[in-house]
Structures are given as C-alpha cells and as structure tokens.
C-alpha cells in the first residue's frame, strides 16, 4: 500500500497563519528512531517546524518503548509533568504512539490516568496519524486506534533522515521468534519484509544525498525474505538477506554497510562467506547471546545452545578477517542459578565481545516468562549485573591496549559530543576513536593512528 499525503494538507489549512511547532520524544531502539524520522516527515508536511524545546511545542509526540519496565515508566513520568500545562493550554496536543500503545492494558491505563492525551496510536497505525491529529484538532476528539496486526506494509511515508553521514533503513518489521521474555512479537506483529525495490530506492536516495554508512534494521534481519516464500511471491522465491546485501553493494556512494540485529539461529554459512567477500560490510557483528547457559537459553526459547553459539563465533572468527562481536545479555532470567550465570561469564571470556548491552530481566505482561516460577531476587539480579560489568571492563581495558600504535581507515563522522574541538569515528571493529580534524574532513575516510586508551573510547591521530 502506498501512503498519500492528504490530512497533512487539511491540517495546514486548519492552522492557516498559525506557526505550530512539534517536539518528538523517542524512546527505545533503532527501529523506533527510524519510525520517528517518519513522524518527523509527516509532521513537517503539515507545515509545522521541529523544536528541541518541549516547552515551546504545540504538538508533543511520544514514541514509546515497552521492552523493560523502566522504559514504560519513563513515559508515565513525562506525561505526569505535562498535565497542568495541558489543562491550561488548548493549543497543545499530546500524542502517544509506538510499542506501549500497542497493548490494550497500557491504552486503558493512559485513558484512565492521563485523560488529557489527544492521540493514542499503536505500531500498526502510523499511516493514520495525520488523520487522527486532524480530528483531534478540528473536532477536539480524543483518538485511539488499535489494530491487532496489519497484513500489508505501508510504503512512501514521508521521512526526514537525521543529518550526518550515517543513516538507517528498516528492511523487515515484526518478529516471529517469541523469545519467552520479550514483548516485541506482541507489539510489532509478525515478520514482514519490505520489497527489495523499495529498500534499494531508499538507499539510492540516501547515497545520492551524501550518506556513506547505511545500517539495515530489523528485529531479526537475517530472516529477511522468509515471508516472501510463505506468501508465494513467485519472483521473490529465492530472495534472501544475502541477495539484498549484494544489491546494496552495487549502489554507488555506500561505503559502509551494517545490520542489526541478526539472530544466531539464522546466521547462514552463505552470509558468513559473503561478509568475508565484501569489505564494505562492517566487521563488527551484533550477535545477541542473552545467556550462556543452555538450559536458560532453552527456557528463553532462543533455539541454540551455548556450544552452538560458541561454534558460530569460532566459525566467523576463522572465516571473516578482523571480525568482532557485540552482544545483548540478560541477567536474572527466571530460574537462573549461580552456575547458569557462570556459564554466561564463561562465554563472555571466550568470545571477547567489543561491546555488551547488559539488561536486568524485567517481567513483561503477556509473555511466557511472566508466568514462570523462580523469579530471581532483585538483589541477586543487580549483583550479577555488577559482576558482568566488571568482567567486561577488565576485558576492554586489556583489549584496548593492543590497539595502541595501530593504524585504521576511519570514516570521520563529525564533532565528538564529549570532547570539545575533537572529531570522531569508529574502527572497523566499532571502537570509538576521537582525534583532531578539520570540518572539511567530515565524510572522508582517513588513516588514523591510535595513541591512547580511555576505556570507552580511544584517542588517535590522523596521519
């Protein structure tokens, strides 16, 4: 289905000379950030301008995340602070979209406790956002839209990419895996791959506009295309993730290709071979582990064992030169014993991850793990998180030392946020490097020699 700009124009005429501003608050993962670029596109078509100051905005949009309880609490906190202002200002519209509002119990809670919210839309309703906001503005209606799942993807939604040299493109939506702890399959629906032509068109546009690094996004990127076979799309029967990567490789201007996240169970030999053949593909692979214990992995429904994960890593290290791994780990999943946790630490030691995103298990309503007995005590969870952190920091420190004196080709991404007057980029293994450079070097690839280890980043010097 193709999106057509329609209600955006109606809002434009409704607002007439009024200069409305909008503020977008994005929580959650890269997929949500990508969705927010579309909300940005839709809102700017209404003739409004973006502001970074929430106090200045007429339309406030919260794009929400449900992955853990603390993500959900963020929204409630922020809504709470807006109540007084909303009651006084009848030219303020508050919209809540994203993963939280794809759950009935959350919708009920917002409707009950935050009655002043104007628009509530689930993840399958972005194409109705303009219409909903229009009705909220014109008829002063409160709009709530919840659809179970949608059959068809909506293409052509206006999008404003973040400035810079890096851009992300969603290639597959939803998830079929139902890991027992995870809310995503419930709030994002079943896997739906975008058609290759639509993806290629977006990337061509980005490359032409000067973006050099493209990250392909999906909850499970390496399942890309599986749904084409189920739908019996004749010309796409053989199409898969590797074929897509091969087509992206042909696009002039794309210099670095990344993807996030692949599932270890779907990491094919064909993909491993192809990464090795194509130097444009980042050597930093995100390979979510979740736990190092086979029995916990089983109750998480991850569909691989500790040994299979380690074997995959071994094979990739052997076949792909300079490969490095980042990962996600959950501590304190129901039933996790000290022995199980030690298995996780063992995998961390063996793989030598370059980055670990660590999470304390959070009960999610409606998931299989919610009902599991042996929920772990909060104190034990926190203590395990600290031990994992400590092990990781020690590993990073010793690994960083080995970078000193070495030279890497680095894409200069822009000014460093934390180091004044310095610029930043990443090694092919994804280590952040900070160095002195000129503004005109941004977007160029330069040789940088590493001079210092600062734990979470390295200092370097352009040669």
Residues that bind ligand SF4 in the complex, under the rule CB under 6 A: 175, 177-179, 182, 184-185, 219-220, 263
| Contact (CB, 8 A) for 428 and 400 | no
How many residues in the shown chain lie near ligand SAH by CB under 6 A?
Answer: 17
What CA–CA distance (Å, rounded) separates 359 from 101?
Answer: 23
Pick from 34, 36, 58, 66: which binds ligand F3S (CB under 6 A)? 66
Minimal distance in Å, beta carbon 198 to ligand SAH? 22
Pick from 247, 249, 308, 328: which binds ligand SAH (CB under 6 A)? 328
* Comparison of 180 and 427: residue with beta carbon closer to ligand SAH: 180
Number of other CB atoms surrounding residue 351 within 10 Å: 21
Name which of ligand F3S, ligand SF4, ligand SAH, none residue 28 binds, using a CB cut-off of 5 to 8 Å depending on partner kind. Answer: ligand F3S
Minimal distance in Å, beta carbon 461 to ligand SF4? 39
The piece of 24-32, 317-325, 346-354, 438-446 that touches ligand F3S (CB under 6 A) is 24-32
Pairing of strands 414-415, 423-426: antiparallel
- 115 burial via Cβ count (<10 Å: 0-12, 13-18, 19+): exposed
What CA–CA distance (Å, rounded) separates 26 from 41?
Answer: 14
29 touches ligand F3S by CB under 6 A: yes
Minimal distance in Å, beta carbon 99 to ligand SF4? 11
What CA–CA distance (Å, rounded) separates 219 from 188?
Answer: 9
362 touches ligand SAH by CB under 6 A: yes
| Contact (CB, 8 A) for 151 and 135 | no
184 touches ligand F3S by CB under 6 A: yes
Residues near 199 by beta carbon (within 8 Å), at least 6 away in sequence: 169, 171, 216, 244, 248
182 touches ligand SAH by CB under 6 A: yes
Minimal distance in Å, beta carbon 441 to ligand SF4? 37
| Contact (CB, 8 A) for 75 and 25 | no
What CA–CA distance (Å, rounded) separates 426 from 4?
Answer: 39
168 touches ligand F3S by CB under 6 A: no
Minimal distance in Å, beta carbon 139 to ligand F3S? 30
Pick from 31, 320, 388, 434: which binds ligand F3S (CB under 6 A)? 31
DSSP string of 286-328, one letter each residue: E---B-S-HHHHHHHT----HHHHHHHHHHHHHHSTT-EEEEE
| Residue 236 DSSP class | G
284 touches ligand F3S by CB under 6 A: no
The piece of 183-191, 325-333, 419-427, 452-460 that touches ligand F3S (CB under 6 A) is 183-191
DSSP string of 417-463, one letter each residue: SSSTT-EEEE-TT--EEEE---GGGTT-EEEEEEEEE-SS-EEEEE-
220 touches ligand F3S by CB under 6 A: no
121 touches ligand F3S by CB under 6 A: no
* Comparison of 59 and 289: residue with beta carbon closer to ligand SAH: 289
Pick from 150, 188, 306, 364: which binds ligand F3S (CB under 6 A)? 188
309 touches ligand SAH by CB under 6 A: no
Mutual angle of helices 241-249 and 269-277, in 10-degree steps: 10
Name which of ligand SF4, ligand SAH, ligand F3S, none residue 185 binds, using a CB cut-off of 5 to 8 Å depending on partner kind. Answer: ligand SF4
Helix/strand/coil (H/E/C) assignment for every residue in 23-69: EEEECCCHHHHHHHHHHHHHHHHCCCEECCCHHHCCEEEEEECCCCH
Query: In the complex, which residues of this chain contact ligand SAH (CB under 6 A)?
Result: 67-68, 181-182, 184, 219-220, 261, 263, 288, 290, 328, 330, 359, 361-362, 364
């Amino acid at each position: 289905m193709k999106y057509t700009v329609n209600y955006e124009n109606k809002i434009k005429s409704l607002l007439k000379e009024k200069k409305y501003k909008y503020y977008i608050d994005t929580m959650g993962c890269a997929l949500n950030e990508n969705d927010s670029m579309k909300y940005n596109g839709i809102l700017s078509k209404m003739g409004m301008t973006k502001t970074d100051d929430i106090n200045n905005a007429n339309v406030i949009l919260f794009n929400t995340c449900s992955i853990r309880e603390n993500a959900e609490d963020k929204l409630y906190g922020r809504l709470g602070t807006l109540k007084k202002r909303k009651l006084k200002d009848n030219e303020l519209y508050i919209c809540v979209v994203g993963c939280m509002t794809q759950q009935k119990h959350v919708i009920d809670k917002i409707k009950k406790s935050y009655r002043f919210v104007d628009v509530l839309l689930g993840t399958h309703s972005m194409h109705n956002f303009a219409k909903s906001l229009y009705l909220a503005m014109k008829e002063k209606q409160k709009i709530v839209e919840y659809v179970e799942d949608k059959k068809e993807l909506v293409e052509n939604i206006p999008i404003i990419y973040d400035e810079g040299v890096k851009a992300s493109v969603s290639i597959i939506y939803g998830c079929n895996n139902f890991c027992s702890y995870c809310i995503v399959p419930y709030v994002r629906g079943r896997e739906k791959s975008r058609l290759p032509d639509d993806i290629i068109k977006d990337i061509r546009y980005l490359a032409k506009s000067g973006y050099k690094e493209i990250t392909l996004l999906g909850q499970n990127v390496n399942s890309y295309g599986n749904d084409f076979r189920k739908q019996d799309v004749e010309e796409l029967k053989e199409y898969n993730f590797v074929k897509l990567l091969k087509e992206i490789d042909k696009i002039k201007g794309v210099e670095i290709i990344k993807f996030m996240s692949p599932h270890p169970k779907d990491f094919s030999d064909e993909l491993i071979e192809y990464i090795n053949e194509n130097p444009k593909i980042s050597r930093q692979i995100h390979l979510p582990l979740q736990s190092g214990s086979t029995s916990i992995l089983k109750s998480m429904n991850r569909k691989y064992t500790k040994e299979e994960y380690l074997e995959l890593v071994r094979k990739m290290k052997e076949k792909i030169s300079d490969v490095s791994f980042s990962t996600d780990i959950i501590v304190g999943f129901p039933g996790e014993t000290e022995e199980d946790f030690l298995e996780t630490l063992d995998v961390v030691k063996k793989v030598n991850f370059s980055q670990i995103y660590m999470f304390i298990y959070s009960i999610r309503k409606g998931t299989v793990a919610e009902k599991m007995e042996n929920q772990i005590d909060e104190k034990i969870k926190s203590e395990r998180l600290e031990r994992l952190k400590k092990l990781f920091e020690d590993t990073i420190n010793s690994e960083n030392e080995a970078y000193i004196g070495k030279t890497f080709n680095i894409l200069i991404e822009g000014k460093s946020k934390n180091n004044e007057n310095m610029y930043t980029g990443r090694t092919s293994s994804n280590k952040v490097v900070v160095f002195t450079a000129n503004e005109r070097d941004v977007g160029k690839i330069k040789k940088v020699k590493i001079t210092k280890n600062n734990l979470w980043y390295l200092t370097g010097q352009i040669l």
